[in-house]
Structure 1
Amino acid sequence: MAWSPNNSKFAVCTVDRVVLLYDEQGERRDKFSTKPMDPKYGKQSYVVNDMVFSPDSTKIAIGQSDNIIYVYRIGEDWGDKKAICNKFVQTSAVTRLLWPAENAVVYGLVDGKVRLANIQTNKSSTIYATESCVVSLACNVSGKGLLSGHADGTIVRYFFDDEGSGESQGKLLTHPCPPYALVWGANSIMVGGCDKKVVVYGREGHVLQNFDYSRDRSEREFTVGVSSPSGQSVVFGSFDRLRVFNWALRRGMWDEAKPKEISNLYTITSLAWKRDGSRLCAGTLCGGVELFDCCLRRTIYKNKFEMTYVGLSQVIVRNLSTRTRVVLKSYYGYEIEEVKIMGRDRYLVAHTSDTLLLGDLLNNKLSEVPWPGSGGNEKFFFENETVCMIFNAGELSLVEYSNNEILGSVRTEFMNPHLISVRLNERKQRGVENNKKLAYLIDIKTIAIVDLAAGYNLGTISHDSKIDWLELNETGRKLLFRDKKLRVRTKAQPPEGQKEGKQ
């Protein structure tokens, strides 16, 4: 089973080697048949061992026991023609698949090799080789690191990019049994197998926690494991039971939640978690697919929005009238507190312990910036469609939507948005790549102009009367302002080498 990254398609491959495609509501919309490597051996000559969607959700890779990987183009819409666009012949059976990057499919083989298939060049290469069959593959939350579990208990780690963590590569640890249920969570690695134990390992392979069910006669071996998209919840499947573990951020350890027990479910053979975190699917040995709704809580906001807290650090915000939705997620894994919709129901604001999350619901632009605890006394202004203005304790901070760094901060006591003007790349100029300017009041008679991209003051303008309105033009080269006597002034930034002029 596999969910598409865009959350719109869910694929299930049956024992008949047919891939069924469902929409997110669980309604079957399409299907296609897989094919053997060599037609002369017939359709009964192989089984499908694993399946994964491409990052753009338009292709599906199928790993088969007859030593081949087929990549099918399924298109963007239901009913699009299905066609094989790539095939990679191997020396042994394909056991597991991952598709972490646009053109790279990672797969494990029975002979112990972990390889990389390039969709663009149609060529494959070996990342590393071991002497034991690959029984599981798992990637980290960012998709830039992977783990492979082998039949002899070995777990190997590999990074495409360690993102500055400095963690080691190569053999990480040896588990007491084959690690069929292997999960790389947000803060640790969790492994389950036929010994009826779930073991939590640290970044360098040392044991942190051990959940032992070997004395529970109703428990069977753990066959499969899956992590939530945030990496803060993990589910292991066994016989008639799903065991759920949640990361406790404050205590820095995993807590076991109440297990989900379903009589006559039998052995769980596959688990797939929807990318927005809202659904978990479990496939069983007897051919059943169970769809579970995943949320900590669900609330209705202003009778216009539905807030679904699918994890401590992830919230789905759905507009009840337009049916559009935005997935709000803390990149750092912090717990999201109350989410608010502000600014004519277009902008969202949420706090965590150390960051501030902002978003434009109309354009689906989200930001998370460092924001130490301020007591929630900020005032937000959304008059500008490209930037949020935040006032707190005499300081103005600017956050550009879709940018995860504060654009700029200045000291000012004047919180009226008519006394502040921000221009961000509103008109293209020859020879100017990044044009971001801010005009604001230092005091009631003095205007300061700042280049936000370069991070320095362009100058100040002193006036003889109180200023009650100001505005930069689109290029940020001209300033228009008005004083209390209703006199209007303009100020232009002169070409280089000339003195300033006043009009």
Structure 2
Amino acid sequence: RPNEIVYGLAEGKVKIGLMKTHKPNTLYQLDSYVTAMCCNPEGSSVVATHLDGSIYLYSFDYPDRAARMIARHSCVPFALAWGTSIAVAGNNNTVVFYDEDGGEEQTFDMSDNPECKEFTVAASNPTGDAMVFGNFNSLYIFTRNKDTMSWEEKPPTKVDNMYSVTAMGWKPDGDKVAVGTLCGVVDLYDICVRRTMYKGGFELTYVSHSQVIVRQVETNMRIVVRSQYGREITKTNIFKNRFVVANTVDTILLGDLQTLKLSEIQWHGNGSEKYIFDNASACIIYFAGEVSIVEYGMDEVLGSIRTSYTTSHVLSLRINERPLRSSDGDAMYGGAVQQNKKVAFLLDAQTICIKDLVTQSSITISHDSKIDWLELNGRANLLLFRDKRRYLHLYNTDRQVRSQL
């Protein structure tokens, strides 16, 4: 939610500040001091804790509903974070994980640890599967096990003479945590599960099991590859020093380092897929006799065709490269530019098919000789193809007329 700031007051009010109009609105009001606030990873809901131990949740998806109390904590909650769970802690040396309805998922009691003092602040990583709690001279880390989906406590990070942690923030791409302390010191911690170098001068930084940062060392270009389904990234490859392909158990992530567009599609393959990157707007995946076309930035397959001819000489893809002329059908429809996405390919050695990936309509062109090259023009309304006899043919898709050049 850009241009909006949610904040809590000592008098118990929780307000939202609209930066465009410079006016505040009250979301809800209590008579208890607001001690901590945070939002969920999607930014669609906020949770606030109060001095009386109450925990309230407000959802922007349902603005007509009032804020609801989901739980009452056993002490004054000062440390609050929201990832895949809502984590709350205070001065009783206990960290409690709640679900969105206030049900207790897990409790970690550290009262038997003499070095554990009051929890003052907390932060969650962007994927929501790791949390850090600030304590006296130490940082307590909790991670979610991807197999059992339960929270696990990791060995705390001891920092001598740090004293109390008063502020904490996790970088949006997940690779750094900033920690502010009582004495005015700001420390920056590097977060990394593992870091590897990839051929061609690329650095792969895995900040969680479902997120990897790909950075080109020479130009410092980077893209954050993150599975929106929380799947573990098992393999990452880079093609043509530009295109990123990351595999999970049941999805494929495709990214473009130049446009920073990322796609994630459901996929069940065996690793023998062939990737074609001849088009800057989409990736072509060939697997088991079928070609799947994935447009960068879209989380679903644009279209699928069945062909065994996958070389760039006999497969031509055009995605909104040039707008249609007004005479080429209706270029404008309802005030919006008509989508122009077409692919030309071979059904067999002597048959061409032109498929509209938007309307799913297709045109079939039969020839009497083997075709060894074809290409659509930018508007995808003309097809140029050549046969083995070195004859060049031009086909107009609008009038469905073929002429030999």
| TM-score of Structure 1 vs Structure 2, range by shorter chain | over 0.9
Is 1:255 aligned with 2:152?
yes
Tell me the secondary structure at the aligned position of residue 313 of structure 2.
helix
Hey, which bits of structure 1, 4+ residues long, moved more than 4 A?
none
1:12-411 alignment runs, 5 A limit: 101-161=1-61, 170-185=68-83, 187-342=84-239, 344-372=240-268, 374-411=269-306
Question: What is the CA–CA distance in structure 2 between the aligned matches of 1:199 and 1:411, rounded to whole Å?
Answer: 53
Residues 254-312 of structure 1 show CA distances to partners (whole Å, capped at 9, x for unaligned) of: 12222101122111111111122111121111222222111011111115111111111
How much does 1:162 deviate? 6.5
Note closer, same or farther for the CA distance 1:303–1:488 as it changes in structure 2 (3 Å cut). closer
* TM-score (norm: length of structure 1): 0.75
How much does 1:161 deviate? 2.2
Partner residue, 2:335? none
CA contact (8 A) 2:28 2:67 kept: no
Determine which of 367, 385, 388 is the counterpart of 1:484: 388
Partner residue, 1:445? 350
Paired residues in the alignment total: 392
Q: Tell me which moved more, 248-257 or 375-384.
A: 248-257
Partner residue, 1:61? none
How much does 1:413 deviate? 1.7
Tell me the secondary structure at the aligned position of residue 259 of structure 1.
strand
Q: Tell me which moved more, 485-494 or 123-132.
A: 485-494
* TM-score (norm: length of structure 2): 0.93
CA contact (8 A) 2:344 2:353 kept: yes
How much does 1:427 deviate? 0.9
Residues 185-232 of structure 1 show CA distances to partners (whole Å, capped at 9, x for unaligned) of: 1x2111111111111112311111111101111111111100012212
CA contact (8 A) 1:144 1:162 kept: no
Question: What is the CA–CA distance in structure 2 between the aligned matches of 1:225 and 1:331, rounded to whole Å?
Answer: 23
Partner residue, 1:16? none
Question: What is the CA–CA distance in structure 2 between the aligned matches of 1:452 and 1:169, rounded to whole Å?
Answer: 45
Question: What is the CA–CA distance in structure 1 between the aligned matches of 2:301 and 2:367, rounded to whole Å?
Answer: 30
Tell me the secondary structure at the aligned position of residue 310 of structure 2.
coil
How much does 1:469 deviate? 1.4
Tell me the secondary structure at the aligned position of residue 31 of structure 2.
coil
Note closer, same or farther for the CA distance 1:222–1:125 as it changes in structure 2 (3 Å cut). same
CA contact (8 A) 2:200 2:241 kept: no
Residues 22-50 of structure 1 show CA distances to partners (whole Å, capped at 9, x for unaligned) of: xxxxxxxxxxxxxxxxxxxxxxxxxxxxx
CA contact (8 A) 2:276 2:283 kept: yes
Q: Tell me which moved more, 486-495 or 462-471.
A: 486-495
Structure 2: runs of 5+ lacking an equivalent: 332-337
Question: What is the CA–CA distance in structure 2 between the aligned matches of 1:190 and 1:168, rounded to whole Å?
Answer: 22
**Which AA in structure 2 matches 1:348?**
V
How much does 1:180 deviate? 0.9
**Which AA in structure 2 matches 1:178?**
V
Is 1:472 aligned with 2:401?
no
How much does 1:354 deviate? 2.1
How much does 1:243 deviate? 0.8
Question: What is the CA–CA distance in structure 2 between the aligned matches of 1:349 and 1:476, rounded to whole Å?
Answer: 28
Question: What is the CA–CA distance in structure 2 between the aligned matches of 1:235 and 1:379, rounded to whole Å?
Answer: 41
**Which AA in structure 2 matches 1:415?**
T
How much does 1:502 deviate? 2.1
Tell me the secondary structure at the aligned position of residue 418 of structure 1.
coil
Question: What is the CA–CA distance in structure 2 between the aligned matches of 1:138 and 1:339, rounded to whole Å?
Answer: 33
CA contact (8 A) 1:139 1:145 kept: yes
Question: What is the CA–CA distance in structure 2 between the aligned matches of 1:268 and 1:462, rounded to whole Å?
Answer: 73
How much does 1:485 deviate? 2.2
Partner residue, 2:334? none
Note closer, same or farther for the CA distance 1:124–1:168 as it changes in structure 2 (3 Å cut). closer
Identity %: 44
Note closer, same or farther for the CA distance 1:162–1:488 as it changes in structure 2 (3 Å cut). farther
Question: What is the CA–CA distance in structure 2 between the aligned matches of 1:114 and 1:168, rounded to whole Å?
Answer: 12
Question: What is the CA–CA distance in structure 1 between the aligned matches of 2:53 and 2:249, rounded to whole Å?
Answer: 39
CA contact (8 A) 1:448 1:457 kept: no
Question: What is the CA–CA distance in structure 2 between the aligned matches of 1:208 and 1:246, rounded to whole Å?
Answer: 14
Tell me the secondary structure at the aligned position of residue 349 of structure 1.
strand
CA contact (8 A) 2:27 2:67 kept: no
